Structures are given as C-alpha cells and as structure tokens.
Amino acid sequence: MEPLEKLKEWASDPENRISSVVSFDSSADRLYPFDFTAGNLELTDQILADTAAFSAWVTKKLEDTSSRYGIGGYNEHRTIYSRSAHFDTAEEPRRLHLGVDIWASAGTQIFNFYDAVVHSFKNNNQFGDYGATIILKYELNGLTLYALYGHLSLASLNGLQAGQFIAGGTPFAAFGIPAENGNWPPHLHFQLMFDMQGKEGDYPGVCQFSNRAVYLNNCPDPGLILNRTFNIPAE
C-alpha cells in the first residue's frame, strides 16, 4: 500500500484519537478561509511589504467575520511570497504552498495531534522563512510520517532534544510574533512529509509550480489530520 493510502486509512479510523493542533470547539468556533492567490485583490503590494499592515489586515478579517482562526493554503499558488527574496530563484520563483496555515494571535498554543518524538528543530531566521521550527516524527501503524510546525515563538525551542517524546494532545509550542517567526503575521504553518530527504529543522513549505507533482507526492494534504477536528475536507 502506498504511503498516502496508509495515511488515509489511519486518519479515517476513529480508534486513532487525533487531537486538534489548536484549541478549537467545532460547535462554536468559526474558521475564516483565507485566499492568498492573485484573485485576492484586497492584498496590495503596499500591505504585503509592511508586516504590521499585513498583520492588521489578517486581524481585521478575523474580527469582521467573528472567526477564532483563519485557515487554508494547501496546494495554493500564492502571490504573497513576492514579499521575500527567500522564495525567488533564477529559474522560477517558488509560489506553491505545501502546508495549511492556521492564523490567530501570537502566543496561541499548539498541541501535538498524536504521540510523536522530536525529529529536529531550528530557528530559520531569514526574512520570510519559518523562524522557529519544530519537526515531529510519528509512527502510525507501520507508516512513518513527519509534521513540520513553523512560525513558532523562540521560546518553543527551549529545552527540546532530538528523540524527546511528546504525547498526543500535549501543548508543546506557540505562535510567534513577527520578530521571531520570519516576519509574518502570527500563524502556524502545518505541513506533513513522508520523507525528510535528509533535512533537519527545515523542509521547503513552498515549491516551484513546475515541481508541484514531486512535492505534493511527498507532502500530503494536512486536511487528512485537521478535518477530524476542524471539519475541513481533504483533497
């Protein structure tokens, strides 16, 4: 069985208790679906160039819609990465998003969705990068899966050790402020990988569109995990 089919089978089994990655009440809390493609004409170059203005725009969207969190982004071709040279290459800029973003205020707690161990962690502190990053390793009925948690607070890295066990449902990190999360409005980048390809503390969260098939094959839809608690459909 292919890794994706194994993951779908595991995630659909109600016996496997998947915890929400943030505190969320599906009966009361609203999610706002953010769109960061070229179709979103509200996000001007002026807003994107100013992290404070970008943060204010995100916050206002959540407040205006009475949404506790914003969410979205998997397999989304985004124009917002033009704000950082980190995503530009000579051949083709990186614009295709490989994870799901959850937008909320700095300091929002992050919970481990299932029993795991720390694979690696790092402060990727370039402008536009992840900032503080933690990668957890999961063993799911014979399937090895990795989850990247990016744009964290620097304090989230304190005391971590590779191989450290973190139980499912345990709070282990928090959303960082722009000064420590790669200069983004506060949010969590949540991404799944079958193969870390030798990388530690980092894995591309955005790829060139021409490499879409290769990266999506290794980075399945995080909705397979999130839809158990957020009720969002996986592709």
Q: What residues make up the domain containing 92? A: 3-230
- pLDDT tens for each residue of 203-222: 999 888 888 889 999 999 99
Q: 136: which DSSP letter? A: E
Supply 219's token pair: 């980075």
Torsion of CA 140, 146, 148, 154, to 10 degrees: 90
- pLDDT tens for each residue of 130-183: 999 999 999 999 999 999 999 999 999 999 999 999 999 999 999 999 999 999
Region 58-80: mean pLDDT is 90
Q: Provide, rounded to the nearest whole percent, the portion of the chain with pLDDT above 90.
A: 70
Q: In what order do the strands lie in the sheet with 76-77?
A: 76-77, 94-97, 206-208
- pLDDT tens for each residue of 3-42: 999 999 999 999 999 999 999 998 889 999 998 887 888 8
- pLDDT tens for each residue of 93-138: 757 889 999 999 999 999 999 999 999 999 999 888 999 999 999 9
> Rg for the chain (alpha carbons), in Å?
17
What is the predicted pLDDT for the residue at 84? 45
- pLDDT tens for each residue of 40-56: 888 888 888 888 998 99
Does residue 81 have a pLDDT over 80?
no
Residue (of 175, 182, 191) closest to 119 by Cα position = 191
Residue with the two structure tokens 């481990």: 112
In a domain, 109, yes or no: yes
In a domain, 183, yes or no: yes
What is the predicted pLDDT for the residue at 92? 57
In a domain, 235, yes or no: no
Q: How far apart are the C-alpha atoms of 101 and 50, rounded to whole Å?
A: 19
Q: Which residue has the higher pLDDT, 80 or 111?
A: 111
For residue 11, give Cα distances in angstroms to 110, 145, 225.
Answer: 20, 12, 6
In a domain, 71, yes or no: yes
What is the predicted pLDDT for the residue at 167? 98
SS in 3 state form for 89-132? Answer: CCCCCEEEECCEEEECCCCCEEECCCCEEEEEEEEECCCCCCEE
Region 62-76: mean pLDDT is 93
CATH number, domain of 140, equals 2.70.70.10
In a domain, 91, yes or no: yes
Does residue 82 have a pLDDT over 70?
no
In a domain, 58, yes or no: yes
Q: How far apart are the C-alpha atoms of 78 and 94, rounded to whole Å?
A: 9
Residue (of 145, 155, 194) closest to 18 by Cα position = 145
In a domain, 76, yes or no: yes
Which helix (H) or strand (E) segment holds residue 222: the answer is none
Residue (of 213, 220, 212, 226) closest to 195 by Cα position = 220
User: How many residues does the structure list for the chain?
Assistant: 235
What is the predicted pLDDT for the residue at 94? 59
For residue 226, give Cα distances in angstroms to 24, 74, 111, 196, 229.
Answer: 11, 12, 12, 21, 6
Provide the pLDDT confidence category of residue 1 given band limits of 50, 70 and 90.
confident
In a domain, 216, yes or no: yes
What is the predicted pLDDT for the residue at 229? 87
**How many structural domains does the chain have?**
1
